[in-house]
């Protein structure tokens, strides 16, 4: 815009293709009316930025989506350690059911205290029920996969989620899926495969667990369901559905369904006293914070970015395993971890550059109109 202004100023008093300078300038003013209206809305924000330069807290807040996503990966990795501790005392469905009920017990008082409507509108109810059903089915299929194939193979398949998330987000939410997102997804997927070392690619490094057809189908179904959940949660964020309301419905419906499943299957037991019960309480608290974080993230961040950054959960899990159990990662694990970290840093850095260039463009556009008004 500034370049156009300079060229038109030099042409004042002359004609361009038979049109006078004033006519051309009038046309530019007319075409840019909508831009002026948008800039007027941002005037106070831009003036405030000039008077008060961005602080560290402001920068952190602007990147809250990325930071909360990374924090959630650590929370879920800690949760995985607790679940691993409980595997000899409780079945997977029992652990998940108790965890959901504990999270529900923490969420309900918060919802009441904040006067968040417990009964959602009909439009919101559809999203809440869909998210709860998908989440419950996802949990069941994930544990079926773990029970019928190696954990490494299952994890490798699960972490292909970002590719499907980008596709579904493009189809249902019309979100952009550029070359950068595609490249980062491929890079992170390669890193996760190297870290997981699936038996069908690294036969010499694995021994034992046969991958049954049931396990593979369950893992693939989990990957697709997780991608759909990410897209549904992103759509719920656009509908301004409150995160605590989402957590409340998911934990209630999921806990109810899994409790019924456990009772019908005859595997429902009372946790033993001592560390088992303490661990279950800790699991509920950790699960609450993790669920609240990931639900909030989808209200402020792009679905593809969230799903890609969540691959860092693999890194957090390896670090916790090394710090707590003293198990050092292998060379393949280090190489794959480096690729995952590189992809996340690339995506985060590119997002920061886009936000910065967007701010500069707004300031430049506004300054050009100010110069035009002064002339």
- Of 121, 292, 298, the C-alpha closest to 226 is 298
pLDDT at 37 over 70: no
Residues 269 and 242 reside in one and the same domain? yes
Residues 26 and 96 reside in one and the same domain? no
Residues 81 and 173 reside in one and the same domain? yes
pLDDT at 143 over 80: no
Residues 347 and 366 reside in one and the same domain? no
Which residues constitute the domain of residue 16? 2-57+362-374
Query: 15 in helix, strand or coil?
Result: strand
pLDDT at 49 over 60: no
Instruction: Output 365 or 322, whichever has higher pLDDT.
Output: 322
pLDDT at 353 over 50: yes
CB atoms within 10 A of CB 200: 11
Residues 13 and 100 reside in one and the same domain? no
Residues 288 and 321 reside in one and the same domain? yes
DSSP letter, residue 346 = H
Residue partners of 358: CB distance under 8 A and separation at least 6: none
pLDDT at 253: 94
Q: How far apart are CA 74 and CA 330, in angstroms?
A: 21
pLDDT at 190 over 70: yes
Residues 43 and 142 reside in one and the same domain? no
Residues 160 and 21 reside in one and the same domain? no
Domain total in the chain: 2
Q: Would you say 121 and 239 are in contact if contact means Cβ atoms under 8 Å apart? A: no
pLDDT at 163: 67
Q: How far apart are CA 318 and CA 217, in angstroms?
A: 26
Residues 121 and 197 reside in one and the same domain? yes
Longest dimension (CA), the chain: 91
Q: How far apart are CA 164 and CA 307, in angstroms?
A: 10
- Which helix (H) or strand (E) covers residue 174, if one does? none
pLDDT at 249 over 90: yes
Average pLDDT over residues 215-219: 80
pLDDT at 5: 44
pLDDT at 313 over 70: yes
pLDDT at 276: 82
Residues 329 and 368 reside in one and the same domain? no
Residues 32 and 116 reside in one and the same domain? no
Residues 176 and 191 reside in one and the same domain? yes
């Amino acid at each position: 815009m500034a370049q156009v202004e300079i060229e038109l100023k030099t042409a004042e008093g002359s004609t361009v293709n038979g049109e006078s300078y004033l006519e051309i300038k009038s046309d530019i003013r007319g075409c840019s009316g909508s831009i002026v209206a948008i800039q007027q809305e941002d005037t106070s924000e831009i003036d405030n930025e000039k008077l008060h330069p961005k602080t560290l807290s402001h920068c952190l807040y602007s990147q809250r989506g990325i930071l909360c996503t990374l924090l959630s990966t650590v929370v879920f990795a800690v949760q995985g350690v607790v679940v691993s501790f409980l595997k000899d005392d409780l079945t997977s469905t029992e652990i998940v059911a108790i965890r959901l009920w504990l999270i529900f017990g923490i969420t309900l008082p918060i919802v009441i205290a904040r006067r968040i409507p417990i009964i959602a509108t009909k439009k919101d109810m559809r999203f809440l029920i869909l998210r709860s059903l998908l989440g419950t089915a996802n949990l069941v299929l994930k544990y079926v996969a773990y029970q019928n194939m190696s954990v490494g193979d299952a994890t490798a398949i699960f972490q292909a989620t970002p590719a499907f998330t980008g596709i579904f987000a493009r189809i249902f939410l019309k979100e952009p899926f550029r070359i950068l997102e595609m490249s980062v997804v491929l890079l992170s997927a390669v890193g996760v495969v190297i870290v997981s070392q699936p038996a069908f690619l690294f036969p010499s490094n694995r021994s034992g667990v046969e991958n049954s057809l049931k396990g593979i189908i369950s893992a693939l179904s989990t990957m697709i369901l997780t991608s759909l959940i990410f897209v549904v949660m992103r759509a719920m964020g656009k509908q301004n559905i409150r995160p605590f309301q989402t957590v409340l419905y998911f934990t209630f419906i999921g806990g109810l369904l899994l409790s019924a499943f456990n009772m019908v299957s005859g595997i429902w037991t009372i946790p033993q006293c001592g560390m088992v019960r303490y661990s279950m309480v800790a699991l509920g608290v950790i699960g609450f914070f993790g669920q609240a974080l990931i639900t909030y993230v989808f209200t402020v961040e792009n679905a593809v970015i969230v799903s890609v950054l969540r691959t860092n959960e693999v890194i957090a899990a390896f670090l916790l395993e090394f710090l707590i159990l003293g198990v050092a990662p292998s060379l393949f694990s280090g190489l794959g971890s480096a690729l995952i970290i590189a992809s996340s840093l690339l995506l985060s850095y590119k997002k920061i550059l886009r936000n910065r260039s967007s701010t500069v463009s707004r300031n430049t556009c506004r300054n050009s109109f100010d110069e035009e008004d002064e002339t």
